[in-house]
Chain A
Amino acid sequence: MSVKKQKRQTDYRTSEKTEIRNCIRQYGKLAGGIAHDLNTILTTIYGYSEMALETLDGTSEAAQDIHKILLAADRARELTGRLMNLSRPAGGDRKTVRVSDIIEETISLIRPSIPHGTEVTVNIASPDILISADPLQLFRAFTNLAVNALQAMEPAGGSLTITLEKVFAGEVNKMNNGEYALIRFADTGQGMDKKTAEKMFDPFFTARSNGNGTGLGLSLVYDIISDLEGDINVSSEVNEGTVIDILIPAETGKFASLP
Protein backbone atom coordinates (compact mmCIF):
# COMPACT_ATOMS: atom_id res chain seq x y z
CA MET A 1 0.00 0.00 0.00
CA SER A 2 1.36 3.44 -0.91
CA VAL A 3 2.14 5.88 1.90
CA LYS A 4 -0.39 8.40 0.51
CA LYS A 5 -3.17 5.83 0.30
CA GLN A 6 -2.40 4.57 3.80
CA LYS A 7 -2.49 8.17 5.14
CA ARG A 8 -5.85 8.80 3.44
CA GLN A 9 -7.27 5.70 5.06
CA THR A 10 -5.87 6.68 8.47
CA ASP A 11 -7.31 10.20 8.14
CA TYR A 12 -10.68 8.76 7.18
CA ARG A 13 -10.57 6.41 10.17
CA THR A 14 -9.69 9.26 12.57
CA SER A 15 -12.40 11.50 11.18
CA GLU A 16 -14.95 8.69 11.38
CA LYS A 17 -14.04 8.03 15.02
CA THR A 18 -14.26 11.73 15.90
CA GLU A 19 -17.71 11.80 14.35
CA ILE A 20 -18.76 8.73 16.36
CA ARG A 21 -17.38 10.27 19.55
CA ASN A 22 -19.24 13.53 18.96
CA CYS A 23 -22.35 11.50 18.27
CA ILE A 24 -21.92 9.67 21.60
CA ARG A 25 -21.50 12.99 23.42
CA GLN A 26 -24.71 14.31 21.84
CA TYR A 27 -26.57 11.14 22.79
CA GLY A 28 -25.07 11.52 26.26
CA LYS A 29 -26.57 15.00 26.68
CA LEU A 30 -29.92 13.73 25.41
CA ALA A 31 -29.73 10.74 27.77
CA GLY A 32 -29.00 13.02 30.73
CA GLY A 33 -32.05 15.14 29.95
CA ILE A 34 -34.31 12.11 29.57
CA ALA A 35 -32.95 10.58 32.80
CA HIS A 36 -33.60 13.84 34.68
CA ASP A 37 -37.24 13.91 33.60
CA LEU A 38 -37.75 10.20 34.25
CA ASN A 39 -36.27 10.51 37.75
CA THR A 40 -38.80 13.24 38.53
CA ILE A 41 -41.69 11.11 37.23
CA LEU A 42 -40.44 8.09 39.19
CA THR A 43 -40.41 10.09 42.43
CA THR A 44 -44.08 10.91 41.88
CA ILE A 45 -44.85 7.23 41.23
CA TYR A 46 -43.04 6.23 44.43
CA GLY A 47 -44.85 8.91 46.42
CA TYR A 48 -48.41 8.11 45.37
CA SER A 49 -47.72 4.37 45.69
CA GLU A 50 -46.50 4.85 49.25
CA MET A 51 -49.53 7.01 50.11
CA ALA A 52 -51.92 4.42 48.65
CA LEU A 53 -50.23 1.64 50.65
CA GLU A 54 -50.77 3.62 53.86
CA THR A 55 -54.53 3.44 53.35
CA LEU A 56 -54.74 -0.21 52.28
CA ASP A 57 -54.74 -3.51 54.10
CA GLY A 58 -51.26 -4.92 53.37
CA THR A 59 -52.70 -8.31 52.37
CA SER A 60 -55.24 -6.88 49.91
CA GLU A 61 -54.97 -7.48 46.19
CA ALA A 62 -54.64 -3.74 45.58
CA ALA A 63 -51.67 -3.53 47.98
CA GLN A 64 -49.97 -6.45 46.21
CA ASP A 65 -50.51 -4.69 42.87
CA ILE A 66 -48.94 -1.51 44.22
CA HIS A 67 -45.90 -3.50 45.36
CA LYS A 68 -45.58 -4.69 41.75
CA ILE A 69 -45.74 -1.06 40.58
CA LEU A 70 -42.89 -0.26 43.00
CA LEU A 71 -40.82 -3.17 41.66
CA ALA A 72 -41.33 -1.89 38.11
CA ALA A 73 -40.29 1.60 39.29
CA ASP A 74 -37.12 0.10 40.77
CA ARG A 75 -36.28 -1.39 37.37
CA ALA A 76 -36.88 1.96 35.71
CA ARG A 77 -34.60 3.59 38.30
CA GLU A 78 -31.81 1.18 37.33
CA LEU A 79 -32.30 2.22 33.72
CA THR A 80 -32.08 5.94 34.51
CA GLY A 81 -28.88 5.18 36.43
CA ARG A 82 -27.42 3.68 33.26
CA LEU A 83 -28.58 6.67 31.23
CA MET A 84 -26.81 8.92 33.75
CA ASN A 85 -23.62 6.94 33.26
CA LEU A 86 -23.82 7.68 29.56
CA SER A 87 -24.15 11.40 30.22
CA ARG A 88 -21.33 11.53 32.74
CA PRO A 89 -18.66 14.20 32.14
CA ALA A 90 -15.58 12.97 30.33
CA GLY A 91 -12.35 12.30 32.12
CA GLY A 92 -13.41 11.31 35.62
CA ASP A 93 -11.07 11.25 38.58
CA ARG A 94 -7.80 10.10 37.04
CA LYS A 95 -4.91 8.62 38.94
CA THR A 96 -2.16 6.11 38.37
CA VAL A 97 -3.64 2.62 38.34
CA ARG A 98 -2.25 -0.86 37.84
CA VAL A 99 -4.22 -2.40 35.00
CA SER A 100 -3.84 -5.94 36.38
CA ASP A 101 -5.62 -4.87 39.60
CA ILE A 102 -8.63 -3.66 37.64
CA ILE A 103 -8.71 -6.92 35.65
CA GLU A 104 -8.65 -8.91 38.91
CA GLU A 105 -11.52 -6.81 40.31
CA THR A 106 -13.48 -7.40 37.10
CA ILE A 107 -12.98 -11.16 37.37
CA SER A 108 -14.06 -11.11 41.03
CA LEU A 109 -17.27 -9.34 40.06
CA ILE A 110 -18.21 -11.56 37.12
CA ARG A 111 -17.09 -14.89 38.64
CA PRO A 112 -20.45 -15.68 40.30
CA SER A 113 -22.26 -15.10 37.00
CA ILE A 114 -20.00 -17.28 34.82
CA PRO A 115 -22.37 -19.90 33.40
CA HIS A 116 -21.70 -23.62 33.65
CA GLY A 117 -19.73 -24.73 30.62
CA THR A 118 -17.93 -21.42 30.22
CA GLU A 119 -14.29 -21.01 31.13
CA VAL A 120 -12.58 -17.70 31.90
CA THR A 121 -8.80 -17.51 31.71
CA VAL A 122 -6.60 -14.55 32.61
CA ASN A 123 -3.08 -14.20 31.23
CA ILE A 124 -1.13 -11.32 32.71
CA ALA A 125 2.16 -10.94 30.88
CA SER A 126 2.89 -7.46 32.32
CA PRO A 127 1.52 -7.36 35.87
CA ASP A 128 3.08 -4.00 36.76
CA ILE A 129 1.97 -1.92 33.80
CA LEU A 130 0.47 1.38 34.97
CA ILE A 131 -1.86 3.82 33.23
CA SER A 132 -3.49 7.13 34.13
CA ALA A 133 -7.24 6.52 34.46
CA ASP A 134 -10.29 6.78 36.67
CA PRO A 135 -10.23 3.26 38.17
CA LEU A 136 -14.02 3.16 38.48
CA GLN A 137 -14.53 4.07 34.82
CA LEU A 138 -11.92 1.52 33.74
CA PHE A 139 -13.60 -1.12 35.89
CA ARG A 140 -16.93 -0.26 34.24
CA ALA A 141 -15.39 -0.62 30.78
CA PHE A 142 -13.76 -3.99 31.53
CA THR A 143 -16.88 -5.31 33.24
CA ASN A 144 -19.03 -4.34 30.27
CA LEU A 145 -16.68 -6.09 27.87
CA ALA A 146 -16.45 -9.23 29.99
CA VAL A 147 -20.22 -9.48 30.54
CA ASN A 148 -20.81 -8.86 26.86
CA ALA A 149 -18.42 -11.70 25.98
CA LEU A 150 -20.11 -14.08 28.44
CA GLN A 151 -23.51 -13.27 26.96
CA ALA A 152 -22.19 -13.81 23.44
CA MET A 153 -21.35 -17.42 24.43
CA GLU A 154 -24.82 -18.25 25.75
CA PRO A 155 -26.31 -20.80 25.83
CA ALA A 156 -23.66 -23.18 24.52
CA GLY A 157 -20.79 -21.81 26.64
CA GLY A 158 -17.19 -21.42 25.54
CA SER A 159 -14.06 -19.70 26.70
CA LEU A 160 -13.19 -16.10 27.45
CA THR A 161 -9.51 -15.21 27.64
CA ILE A 162 -8.42 -11.87 29.04
CA THR A 163 -4.79 -10.99 28.46
CA LEU A 164 -2.66 -8.03 29.47
CA GLU A 165 0.66 -7.20 27.94
CA LYS A 166 2.86 -4.24 27.23
CA VAL A 167 3.25 -3.25 23.58
CA PHE A 168 5.00 -0.48 21.73
CA ALA A 169 3.58 1.88 19.13
CA GLY A 170 3.63 0.35 15.69
CA GLU A 171 3.46 -3.24 16.91
CA VAL A 172 -0.33 -3.41 16.98
CA ASN A 173 -1.70 -0.13 15.78
CA LYS A 174 -0.73 3.26 14.34
CA MET A 175 -0.68 5.11 17.63
CA ASN A 176 1.59 7.80 19.02
CA ASN A 177 5.07 6.67 20.00
CA GLY A 178 5.40 5.03 23.37
CA GLU A 179 4.35 2.11 25.51
CA TYR A 180 0.78 0.91 25.69
CA ALA A 181 -1.18 -1.49 27.82
CA LEU A 182 -2.90 -3.98 25.52
CA ILE A 183 -5.92 -5.61 27.15
CA ARG A 184 -7.48 -8.31 25.01
CA PHE A 185 -10.92 -9.85 25.53
CA ALA A 186 -11.13 -12.94 23.28
CA ASP A 187 -14.27 -15.06 23.36
CA THR A 188 -15.43 -18.10 21.42
CA GLY A 189 -19.01 -16.86 21.22
CA GLN A 190 -21.39 -16.33 18.34
CA GLY A 191 -19.31 -13.53 16.78
CA MET A 192 -20.64 -10.75 14.59
CA ASP A 193 -20.93 -9.95 10.94
CA LYS A 194 -19.19 -6.82 9.63
CA LYS A 195 -22.36 -4.69 9.74
CA THR A 196 -22.99 -5.51 13.41
CA ALA A 197 -19.35 -4.97 14.37
CA GLU A 198 -19.39 -1.51 12.77
CA LYS A 199 -22.37 -0.47 14.90
CA MET A 200 -21.46 -2.19 18.17
CA PHE A 201 -20.18 1.01 19.85
CA ASP A 202 -23.14 3.16 18.76
CA PRO A 203 -25.36 4.26 21.65
CA PHE A 204 -28.63 2.31 21.92
CA PHE A 205 -27.45 -0.32 19.43
CA THR A 206 -27.91 -3.84 20.70
CA ALA A 207 -27.60 -7.17 18.96
CA ARG A 208 -29.61 -8.88 21.69
CA SER A 209 -33.15 -9.75 20.73
CA ASN A 210 -34.32 -10.85 24.20
CA GLY A 211 -34.82 -7.34 25.53
CA ASN A 212 -31.90 -7.59 27.95
CA GLY A 213 -29.68 -5.12 26.16
CA THR A 214 -30.03 -1.35 26.46
CA GLY A 215 -27.30 -0.70 23.91
CA LEU A 216 -25.51 1.62 26.31
CA GLY A 217 -22.70 -0.56 27.67
CA LEU A 218 -20.34 -0.69 24.72
CA SER A 219 -20.84 2.97 23.79
CA LEU A 220 -19.77 3.76 27.35
CA VAL A 221 -16.68 1.59 26.83
CA TYR A 222 -15.84 3.51 23.68
CA ASP A 223 -16.21 6.85 25.45
CA ILE A 224 -14.09 5.79 28.44
CA ILE A 225 -11.24 4.42 26.31
CA SER A 226 -11.34 7.43 23.97
CA ASP A 227 -11.03 9.76 26.96
CA LEU A 228 -7.82 7.93 27.89
CA GLU A 229 -6.43 8.63 24.40
CA GLY A 230 -6.73 4.91 23.84
CA ASP A 231 -8.01 2.85 20.96
CA ILE A 232 -10.26 -0.15 20.42
CA ASN A 233 -9.85 -2.73 17.69
CA VAL A 234 -12.41 -5.41 17.00
CA SER A 235 -12.09 -8.55 14.94
CA SER A 236 -14.96 -10.97 14.77
CA GLU A 237 -16.13 -14.00 12.83
CA VAL A 238 -19.68 -15.30 12.89
CA ASN A 239 -19.85 -18.54 14.93
CA GLU A 240 -16.13 -18.28 15.71
CA GLY A 241 -15.92 -15.52 18.30
CA THR A 242 -14.77 -11.99 18.88
CA VAL A 243 -11.47 -10.40 19.88
CA ILE A 244 -11.55 -6.89 21.31
CA ASP A 245 -8.20 -5.17 21.83
CA ILE A 246 -8.04 -2.16 24.13
CA LEU A 247 -4.93 -0.01 23.86
CA ILE A 248 -4.22 2.58 26.55
CA PRO A 249 -1.07 4.70 26.83
CA ALA A 250 1.14 3.41 29.65
CA GLU A 251 2.70 5.57 32.31
CA THR A 252 6.37 4.80 31.94
CA GLY A 253 8.94 5.07 34.74
CA LYS A 254 6.33 4.49 37.47
CA PHE A 255 6.53 0.72 37.72
CA ALA A 256 7.49 0.74 41.41
CA SER A 257 5.30 3.58 42.56
CA LEU A 258 2.25 1.56 43.59
CA PRO A 259 2.20 -0.80 46.60
Chain B
Amino acid sequence: MAGVMVVEDDPALRGMLREALEKRKYIVITACDGREAIAKFRPSVVDLVITDLLMPEEDGLMVIMKIKEIKPSTRVIAISGGGKAGPGSYLLMASKLGADLVFSKPFLPSELVQKVKEMLDKH
Protein backbone atom coordinates (compact mmCIF):
# COMPACT_ATOMS: atom_id res chain seq x y z
CA MET B 1 0.00 0.00 0.00
CA ALA B 2 1.29 3.46 -0.93
CA GLY B 3 2.38 5.91 1.73
CA VAL B 4 1.38 9.57 1.89
CA MET B 5 2.90 12.23 4.14
CA VAL B 6 0.73 15.22 5.10
CA VAL B 7 2.63 18.31 6.24
CA GLU B 8 0.24 20.93 7.60
CA ASP B 9 0.47 23.17 10.64
CA ASP B 10 -3.28 23.46 11.17
CA PRO B 11 -4.28 20.44 13.32
CA ALA B 12 -7.90 20.31 12.12
CA LEU B 13 -6.97 20.28 8.43
CA ARG B 14 -4.13 17.82 9.10
CA GLY B 15 -6.56 15.49 10.86
CA MET B 16 -9.18 15.79 8.14
CA LEU B 17 -6.68 14.97 5.38
CA ARG B 18 -5.41 12.00 7.38
CA GLU B 19 -8.96 10.64 7.73
CA ALA B 20 -9.80 11.23 4.06
CA LEU B 21 -6.63 9.41 2.93
CA GLU B 22 -6.90 6.55 5.45
CA LYS B 23 -10.43 5.88 4.18
CA ARG B 24 -8.78 5.19 0.82
CA LYS B 25 -6.43 2.76 2.58
CA TYR B 26 -3.26 4.80 2.27
CA ILE B 27 -0.58 4.65 4.95
CA VAL B 28 -0.54 8.20 6.31
CA ILE B 29 2.27 9.95 8.17
CA THR B 30 1.63 13.47 9.42
CA ALA B 31 3.92 16.34 10.36
CA CYS B 32 3.09 19.75 11.81
CA ASP B 33 5.89 21.66 10.09
CA GLY B 34 8.79 21.30 7.70
CA ARG B 35 11.32 20.31 10.35
CA GLU B 36 9.17 17.44 11.62
CA ALA B 37 8.45 16.39 8.03
CA ILE B 38 12.13 15.97 7.20
CA ALA B 39 12.73 14.10 10.49
CA LYS B 40 9.83 11.68 9.83
CA PHE B 41 10.39 11.19 6.10
CA ARG B 42 11.15 7.55 5.24
CA PRO B 43 11.99 7.05 1.55
CA SER B 44 10.91 3.42 1.68
CA VAL B 45 7.45 4.29 3.00
CA VAL B 46 6.48 7.67 1.57
CA ASP B 47 5.58 7.85 -2.13
CA LEU B 48 3.76 11.18 -2.10
CA VAL B 49 3.96 14.30 0.07
CA ILE B 50 1.17 16.84 0.51
CA THR B 51 2.67 19.97 2.02
CA ASP B 52 1.38 23.32 3.12
CA LEU B 53 3.71 26.18 2.19
CA LEU B 54 3.45 28.73 5.00
CA MET B 55 4.49 27.05 8.25
CA PRO B 56 6.33 28.27 11.35
CA GLU B 57 9.37 25.92 11.39
CA GLU B 58 10.88 25.26 7.93
CA ASP B 59 8.33 26.20 5.30
CA GLY B 60 6.89 24.01 2.59
CA LEU B 61 9.28 25.25 -0.08
CA MET B 62 12.17 23.87 1.97
CA VAL B 63 10.28 20.58 2.39
CA ILE B 64 9.89 20.25 -1.39
CA MET B 65 13.58 20.90 -2.02
CA LYS B 66 14.80 18.48 0.68
CA ILE B 67 12.35 15.68 -0.20
CA LYS B 68 13.23 15.91 -3.89
CA GLU B 69 16.91 15.77 -2.91
CA ILE B 70 16.46 12.69 -0.67
CA LYS B 71 14.13 10.79 -3.03
CA PRO B 72 13.62 12.50 -6.42
CA SER B 73 10.79 10.16 -7.45
CA THR B 74 8.57 11.34 -4.56
CA ARG B 75 5.48 13.02 -5.91
CA VAL B 76 4.68 16.36 -4.23
CA ILE B 77 1.42 18.29 -3.99
CA ALA B 78 1.72 21.83 -2.57
CA ILE B 79 -1.27 23.45 -0.89
CA SER B 80 -1.50 27.09 0.16
CA GLY B 81 -4.04 29.55 1.42
CA GLY B 82 -2.06 32.62 0.45
CA GLY B 83 -0.35 35.24 2.55
CA LYS B 84 1.32 38.57 1.98
CA ALA B 85 2.14 37.83 -1.66
CA GLY B 86 -1.12 35.98 -2.39
CA PRO B 87 -1.51 32.24 -2.95
CA GLY B 88 -0.40 32.37 -6.60
CA SER B 89 3.14 33.53 -5.85
CA TYR B 90 3.92 30.78 -3.34
CA LEU B 91 2.33 28.09 -5.46
CA LEU B 92 4.28 29.27 -8.50
CA MET B 93 7.51 29.05 -6.47
CA ALA B 94 6.49 25.57 -5.30
CA SER B 95 6.02 24.46 -8.92
CA LYS B 96 9.40 25.83 -9.88
CA LEU B 97 11.01 23.95 -6.99
CA GLY B 98 9.54 20.64 -8.15
CA ALA B 99 5.96 20.34 -6.85
CA ASP B 100 4.06 18.13 -9.31
CA LEU B 101 0.72 19.72 -8.52
CA VAL B 102 -0.53 22.72 -6.58
CA PHE B 103 -3.85 23.38 -4.85
CA SER B 104 -5.00 26.79 -3.68
CA LYS B 105 -6.96 26.66 -0.43
CA PRO B 106 -9.84 26.36 -0.02
CA PHE B 107 -10.16 23.28 -2.22
CA LEU B 108 -12.42 20.24 -2.25
CA PRO B 109 -10.49 17.47 -0.48
CA SER B 110 -12.26 14.88 -2.66
CA GLU B 111 -10.49 16.42 -5.67
CA LEU B 112 -7.14 16.30 -3.87
CA VAL B 113 -7.65 12.63 -2.91
CA GLN B 114 -8.62 11.84 -6.52
CA LYS B 115 -5.37 13.45 -7.74
CA VAL B 116 -3.38 11.49 -5.14
CA LYS B 117 -4.91 8.29 -6.53
CA GLU B 118 -4.14 9.24 -10.14
CA MET B 119 -0.53 10.17 -9.34
CA LEU B 120 0.13 7.04 -7.32
CA ASP B 121 -1.55 4.77 -9.87
CA LYS B 122 0.91 6.08 -12.48
CA HIS B 123 3.81 5.69 -10.06
Contact = CB atoms under 8 A, between A and B. Distances in A.
Interface of A: 29, 32-33, 35-48, 50-51, 73, 77, 80, 84, 87-89
Nearest to A45: B106
B108 interface: yes
B36 interface: no
Interface of B: 10, 12-13, 16-17, 19-20, 23, 52, 54, 79, 81-87, 89, 104-110
Given A47-B20, A51-B23, A39 B106 contact: yes
30 contacts: A29-B84, A32-B84, A33-B83, A35-B81, A36-B82, A37-B81, A39-B81, A39-B105, A40-B10, A40-B81, A40-B105, A41-B10, A41-B13, A43-B81, A43-B106, A43-B107, A44-B10, A44-B12, A44-B13, A44-B16, A47-B16, A50-B20, A51-B19, A51-B20, A73-B106, A77-B106, A80-B106, A84-B86, A87-B84, A89-B85
Given A46-B107, A47-B109, A39 B23 contact: no
Interface of A is mostly: helix
Contacts of B12: 41, 44
Contacts of B104: 39
Nearest to B15: A44
A50 B106 CA distance: 13
Given A46-B108, A88-B86, A36 B13 contact: no
